[in-house]
Amino acid sequence: MSASTNKYIDPLSDFGFKHLFGGEPNKEIMIAFLNALFEGEKHITDIVYNPTELAGDDREHKKACFDLLCTGDKGEQFIVEMQRAAHNNFEDRCIFYLSRLIHQQKLKRNWEVKLKEVFLVGILDFNMKNCLSDHFLQSISLVNTGTGKIFHNGLGFKFLELPKFGKKEDELETELDKWVYMLKHMHSLDQVPKYLDKRVFEKIFNIAEMDKLSPEQQFVYDSILQREEDDQYRLGYAEQKGREEGMEKGLGQGKEEGKHETALAIARKMKEENFELAKIAGFTALSIEEIESL
């Protein structure tokens, strides 16, 4: 089934993920997902979406660009990343992202105020190289390696490795099972599965209907899917060439650079179709000045 004939958008695409999880009017979707993911460790009742780019201290320091960043009702912060393909030093980038959140808190020297909790959630359409278990959810905290006891529970990682999830519709047991099944299979379904019986899932599938997208959204979605397919082809070619040459090379210039190139490509196409500059800026997160210069 091609993207153009699917009933629902692909939630693992950049557009689909942000369309479903990133909008303030639909924040209950993100709240329900996080509560299912933390499985009782945390109970989140509200979130606020934050800017997804943190600048470095100066020009020489790298910016941190997230897919989504939100703050919970108790002040905890969640970076939520959708990653379709593996790349070198992925774990390093995750640690770098959390360190930026900690650094920006700029606590007073007397340490009268505790650090706000920070977490990174990775939804991965691949298996991590550093495989820690065969389970699809990897929960990582700072622990004492001798005793296995948690040293600090205010900093952690949650990685969903989607290829490891193989349950069928009638085998779903937990709320998290239902979320992972939805993420993996939504784009190929033609109706809401009966096992996803919560109102939040009905809302997700309603928002995800292709027929509900505006012409501009449909244009951006198709453009991003094409770009992702092209990127996957180039990545596979680079990996093959690297093996043939007996080398290990960096396969990309970093996630934020790749996203910026995608945004530029979409903006060019939208300009060619005579979309309004304000609409192009809204869909691509580029500035009006940058769009005008294309």
Of 227 and 159, the structure prediction assigns the larger pLDDT to: 159
Q: What is the pLDDT of residue 64?
A: 78
Tens-place pLDDT, residues 123-154: 999 998 876 788 999 999 999 999 989 998 88
Strand pairing category for 47-49 and 68-72: antiparallel
274: left (phi over 0), alpha (psi -120 to 50) or beta: left
Query: Is pLDDT above 90 for 172?
Result: yes
Of 133 and 158, the structure prediction assigns the larger pLDDT to: 158
Domain ranges of the chain: 3-210, 216-292
Tens-place pLDDT, residues 87-116: 778 899 899 999 989 888 876 666 777 889
Query: Is pLDDT above 60 for 242?
Result: no
Q: What is the pLDDT of residue 232?
A: 59
Q: What is the mean pLDDT of residues 216-236?
A: 74
Residue located via tokens 């600090």: 152
- Which residues lie across from 83 on neighbouring strands? 124
pLDDT band at 2 (very low <50, low <70, confident <90, very high): very low
Q: What is the pLDDT of residue 4?
A: 54
Are residues 262 and 283 in contact, defined by beta-carbon separation less than 8 angstroms? no
Query: Is pLDDT above 90 for 159?
Result: yes
Query: Is pLDDT above 90 for 164?
Result: yes
Q: What is the pLDDT of residue 258?
A: 63
Of 213 and 230, the structure prediction assigns the larger pLDDT to: 213
Query: Is pLDDT above 80 for 254?
Result: no
Are residues 36 and 176 in contact, defined by beta-carbon separation less than 8 angstroms? yes
Please name which of 17, 45, 31 lies closest in space to residue 198, comparing C-alpha atoms.
31
pLDDT band at 156 (very low <50, low <70, confident <90, very high): very high
Query: Is pLDDT above 60 for 271?
Result: yes
Q: What is the pLDDT of residue 240?
A: 55
Buried b (16+ CB within 10 A) or exposed e, 164-174: bbeeeeeebee
Query: Is pLDDT above 80 for 293?
Result: yes
- Which residues lie across from 48 on neighbouring strands? 71
